Amino acid sequence: MSARDAGFAVTTDKTTVVRRIGVLGCGRIGRMHADILATQVPGFEVVAVADVVPAAAEAVAAATGARVSAIDELIGADDIDTVAICTSTDTHVELVVKAAAAGKAIFCEKPVSLDIGLVDTALAAVEQAGVPFMIGFNRRFDPGHKSVRDAVTGGTVGDIHLLRVTSRDPAPPPPEYVAVSGGIFLDMMIHDFDMARYVVGSDVVSVYATGAVRVDPRIGEAGDIDTAIAVLTHADGTITTIDNSREAVYGYDQRVEAFGSGGMAVSDNQPVHHGWSMTRESRGAQPLAWFFLDRYMESYRAEWRAFHAYLADGGPSPAGVDAARACTLAALAAKRSWREGRPVRTDEIG
């Protein structure tokens, strides 16, 4: 990890092309992206920010030196070449379509949509306009998870046979969120479907999913589950198992393990620091990072560096249209599998 990776000096190389970016949505995730773009990665200037809540936009504008703008005005602005779509999921498709039409490079938070037809609409607009597009599957860029992927592509794991992904949140969302989020497979496990495709390097062809309400009965009343398992079969024969829980009381549990003919590669949880103690009664250690803003901060920075390199150099997107579509497909297959109690092929969905 270089000093820069650790959040150190933000001094832009004179020869770096600076992307002029507008941030759409100034909630938790938009605010975080704006801060990273303004102070933690080189190559971006936050030119304008927009939010349906004016105070939210103003706060981010004040912190980053950007101007406040209306959404459509921002998308159409001549001094902006790139947009970051950080609004609520139900607005993503419309904004992607507009930004593509305006010829902007697009960074879009996941998922594009809960509806595979609308995903296709948005992605078709991107492809037709020929604009750069990246979906915010940030976990690919986590150094530990990436080391597992590298151990697969680099040969350490040999032929991959099994992948295990554990993803447990520290605390459940409010039940009202669950009602609109699409549920655990679409709002939470979708990250793990991306991890599976990314590490294995092969598409998901079928999904068996099951689960239960164990954490909060109100999640069940909202029509969802809070504890979920999925078994994925990939086109190359690899099998992935995923487990999710909405509440791991010990902190944000994020692990990936690839197993194959050559051995095993693991991305383990990391404590907040490496102090520990041992007494007559017990051995103590530090808790895990509490949630994604702590655990995955470096992945967000690396994501923006990858996006910048893609904009500068071309080539395939670090997380492109195919990932956006395939993960929604796998999530919908998982949801159907859970409901129907049988393995579901992804080609049954779309």
Subset of 131-150 contacting a second copy (CB under 8 A): 142-148
Nearer to a second copy, 99 or 151 (CB): 151
Task: Tell me which residue of 199, 111, 80 sits closest to 150, measured CA to CA.
Answer: 199
d(CA 53, CA 311): 30
Show contacts with a second copy in window 180-199 (CB under 8 A). Answer: none
Show contacts with a second copy in window 150-169 (CB under 8 A). Answer: 151, 156-159, 161-162, 164, 168
> Residue type at 82?
T
Asked whether position 14 contacts a second copy by CB under 8 A, the answer is no
Nearer to a second copy, 294 or 348 (CB): 294
Nearer to a second copy, 151 or 311 (CB): 151
Return the half-sphere exposure (C-beta side, CA atoms, 13 A cut-off) of residue 165.
29
Show contacts with a second copy in window 265-294 (CB under 8 A). Answer: 265-280, 282-290, 293-294
Nearer to a second copy, 81 or 243 (CB): 243
Three-state DSSP state, 82: strand
**Residue 263 backbone class (left: φ over 0; alpha: ψ -120 to 50; beta: rest):** left
State the nearest-atom distance from the C-beta of 313 to a second copy, in Å: 25
- SS3 annotation, 217-268: HHHHHCCCCCEEEEEEEECCCCEEEEEEECCCCCCCEEEEEEEECCEEEEEC
State the nearest-atom distance from the C-beta of 76 to a second copy, in Å: 28
Nearer to a second copy, 121 or 241 (CB): 241
In sign, the C-alpha dihedral spanning 69, 70, 73, 74 is positive
Nearer to a second copy, 54 or 287 (CB): 287
State the nearest-atom distance from the C-beta of 217 to a second copy, in Å: 13
Nearer to a second copy, 278 or 313 (CB): 278
State the nearest-atom distance from the C-beta of 324 to a second copy, in Å: 26
d(CA 97, CA 103): 10
Residue with tokens 């000096």: 9
State the nearest-atom distance from the C-beta of 154 to a second copy, in Å: 10
State the nearest-atom distance from the C-beta of 270 to a second copy, in Å: 4
Judged by CB under 8 A, the residue of 53, 212, 235, 309 near a second copy is 212
State the nearest-atom distance from the C-beta of 96 to a second copy, in Å: 26
Task: Tell me which residue of 342, 165, 143, 316 sits closest to 238, measured CA to CA.
Answer: 165
Asked whether position 235 contacts a second copy by CB under 8 A, the answer is no
Nearer to a second copy, 227 or 328 (CB): 227
Show contacts with a second copy in window 41-100 (CB under 8 A). Answer: 59, 63
Contacts of 228 (CB under 8 A, 6+ apart): 184, 185, 189, 209, 210, 211, 242, 243, 244, 245, 334, 338
| Interface with a second copy: number of residues (CB under 8 A) | 89
